[in-house]
Chain A
Amino acid sequence: MTPNPTPAVDEALIRGLVPGVLGALVRRGADFAAAEDAVQDALVEAIRVWPTHPPREPKGWLITVAWRRFLDATRADATRRRREELIAEEPGPGPVSGADDTLWLYFLCAHPSLSPSSAVALTLRAVGGLSTRQIARAYLVPEATMAQRISRAKRTVSGARFDRPGDVATVLRVLYLIFNEGYSGEVDLAAEAIRLTRRLAATIDHPEPAGLLALMLLHHARRAARTTADGGLVPLAEQDRSRWDTELIAEGVGILQAALARDRLGEFQAQAAIAALHADAPSVGETDWVQIVEWYDELVRLTDSPIVRLNRAVAVGEADGPRAGLAALAELDDSLPRYAAVAAHLHERDGDLATAVRLYAEAARKATNLAERDHLTRRAARLNNRRGR
């Protein structure tokens, strides 16, 4: 009674074609919002049809089907509005500049007029080719809510003009958000962020997308070591480094070195450099903290971010001892997120366990995510038990 196994369609491969297909439709005169809907319809059709009728030319197939869907929708729309005369004749397939389409799409979906959550959702759908349902599940909101978020975002950017090249930093921030704040679910958002950043880095001649890609790869390499079997958080210092993915590390380091060689430092290259120094240390004791502090100094110069200064204090504590770390910490605002956690760690290293326990407990109460709260609580409990003996 087993049905004939149908070969599954490589979804990632299909989704990789999305920017080119969408760009082709828009260049034929379709408006972005309608074209994007039509491309989604074509993707659904491809996943249904291709297992039994694989196309000879996948991208051409998608453009043809999406264009028909677009015309059908436009006709229905136009009939309603009595604007049949606006329907375009179906043009022949013209030459497609894939690189321009891809870049245009990244910039459109990260447009500064969009809120971060809207830009993330639109990027995942229009550039990544994920369905609204997949994105809704990834971010744990109802599908209807995500559909509205995406259609609002499309309306917001529909009039956007790109006469001048945009600021690539806006695109990088969106990709970083997808990577860093992704929830776990059926869609691997970290892998998706890497796929989208890899493509951007291959399309645009700029070292920062490469820096971001390297940063993602170097952190993704630690994924298996980052959590215990029951989902607990394993801090960098305690990770089993034999479980780090050496291939990803090698790729990340290679990409970073090529980017740094171009001598246009940016924040993602500097962050990746720090991750690379961690990746380079066979054990936590062999970490080159002095160099890491230097990179934090660069990051402070580039971003002037209080969070960066906080992380710098941790590195200073390792490079020059916990007292030096505490001195660096003392210059910062104690209302910063994770301030108490950093202070607790430095006091523990300094041997002041009573203060460390108190601060770990305080940090646990202030933690904004469950895994970190549990980790800090365990930390406090461990020190309490050690002191009790």
Chain B
Amino acid sequence: MAKYLLLKHYRGAPAPVNDVPMEKWTPEEISAHMRYMSDFAARLEKTGEFVDAQALAPEGMFVRYDGEGRPPVTDGPFPETKDLIAGWMVIDVDSRERALELAGELSAAPGAGGEPIHEWLEVRPFLTAPPTVTE
């Protein structure tokens, strides 16, 4: 019973095998991709492993405190070189192996030519609550 975050990057992850930008796919290939993603989430709900999935807009900025009584300072949008998160899925699984297996399946979502994208997903375990028995 452990939660993992599967992070999908717009930028910052290594290049996928099937590296064609989405606007160059056919509309049918885009639909097939979207269907794969929603089927994947639906399947995880059925297995009792789904927690959350969200997509993020690419537009964003850095914000920081700028001292008492002053408005926060903003910076951005990010330069091209920066890591950029596209979205995530949170899963609740019995083992690390299962988390990796599911990330592998998600990475196989079809892209250009209907072929798997082989996209690199970042898998991050959640920090848990502390166990009661430690000695």
Contacts and interface: CB of A to CB of B under 8 A. Distances in A.
A146 B46 CA distance: 9
A278 interface: yes
B54 interface: no
Q: Which range holds the interface residue count of chain A?
A: 35 or more
Contact of A180 (B3, B52, B131): B131
A180 B135 contact: no
Contact of B130 (A115, A140, A150, A233): A233
A117 B51 CA distance: 14
A142 B46 CA distance: 12
Interface in A144-193: 144-146, 148-150, 152, 177, 179-184, 190
Interface in A211-237: 215, 219-220, 226, 233, 236
Interface stretch (A4-12, A241-249, A362-370): A362-370
Contacts of B49: 145, 149
Interface of B is mostly: loop
Contact of B127 (A117, A219, A369): A369
A219 B133 contact: yes
Nearest to A144: B45
Interface residues of B, number: 24
A256 interface: no
A92 to B, nearest CB: 38
Interface string A311-330: 10010000000000000000
B129 A181 contact: yes
Contacts of B94: 115-117
A193 B132 CA distance: 12
Given A150-B48, A274-B135, A368-B125, A145 B130 contact: no
Contacts, number: 92
A181 B131 contact: yes
B38 to A, nearest CB: 15
A71 interface: no
B128 interface: yes
A141 B92 contact: yes
A108 B134 CA distance: 29
B47 interface: yes
Interface string A353-389: 0000000000000011111110000000000000000
B36 interface: no
B1 interface: yes
A370 B50 contact: no
Contact of B135 (A118, A184, A236, A370): A236
Contacts of B129: 181-184, 369-371
B127 A367 contact: yes
A341 B131 CA distance: 15
B47 A373 contact: no
A167 to B, nearest CB: 20
B50 A219 contact: no
A369 B92 contact: no
17 contacts: A117-B92, A140-B92, A141-B48, A142-B45, A144-B50, A145-B44, A149-B48, A181-B1, A182-B129, A184-B129, A311-B135, A314-B135, A368-B128, A370-B127, A370-B128, A370-B129, A372-B130
8 shortest A-B CB distances, which residue pairs?
A149-B48, A371-B130, A370-B127, A117-B1, A148-B48, A369-B128, A369-B130, A115-B94
Interface of B: 1, 3, 44-52, 92-94, 125, 127-135
